[in-house]
Amino acid sequence: MLARGWQPVPVPRFEPFAATRYAASATLDDVSAPPYDVLSAADVDGLAEQDPHNIVHIDVPRPADSPSRYEDAATLLRAWRAGGVLVDDDRPTFTLYRMQFTDEAGAVRHTVGVIGALEVVDLDGDGVLPHERTTPKASTDRLDLTRATNANLSPVWGLSLTAGLTALLADAAEPIGSCTDEAGVVHTVERVTDPQRIAEIGAAVSANPVLIADGHHRYGISRTYRDEVRAAQGNDSPAELTMAYVAELVADQLSIDAIHRTYAGVAADALLDRLSTTFDIEPAGPVHPDFAAETVRRGALCFVHANGTGSWLTPRREAFDGVRELDGAYLEHALADFPVEVDYQHGVAETVDLVTGGQVAAAVLIRPTSLTEIRRTADERLLMPPKSTFFTPKLRTGLVIRTMDA
pLDDT tens string 168-222: 999 999 999 999 999 999 999 999 999 999 999 999 999 999 988 888 889 999 9
Three-state secondary structure call for residue 38: helix
pLDDT tens by residue, 125-140: 788 887 566 666 556 9
Helix 141-149 × helix 69-83 angle, to 10°: 40
Which residues on neighbouring strands pair with residue 264, listed in sequence order? Answer: 341
Share of the chain above pLDDT 70, in %: 93
pLDDT tens by residue, 331-340: 999 999 999 9
Three-state secondary structure call for residue 220: helix
Q: Is the pLDDT assigned to residue 10 strictly greater than 90?
A: no
- Which H or E run includes 77? helix 69-83
pTM here is 0.85
270-283 exposure pattern, b = at least 16 Cβ within 10 A, e = fewer = ebbeebeebbeeee
Those residues whose C-beta lies under 8 Å from the C-beta of residue 83, and which sit 6 or more positions away, are none
Three-state secondary structure call for residue 209: coil
**CATH code assigned to 259-367:** 3.30.1760
- Rounded CA gap, 336 and 329, in Å? 10
pLDDT tens by residue, 289-343: 889 889 999 999 999 999 999 999 999 999 999 998 889 999 999 999 999 999 9
- Rounded CA gap, 333 and 122, in Å? 30
- Rounded CA gap, 335 and 330, in Å? 9
What is residue 208's DSSP assignment? S
For the chain, the 3-state helix, strand and coil shares in percent, each to the nearest 5, are: 30, 30, 40
Domain residue ranges of the chain, discontinuous segments joined by +: 14-255+391-403, 259-367
Distances (CA, A) of 60 to 73, 226, 305, 398: 8, 22, 36, 12
Q: Are 174 and 94 in contact (CB under 8 A)?
A: no
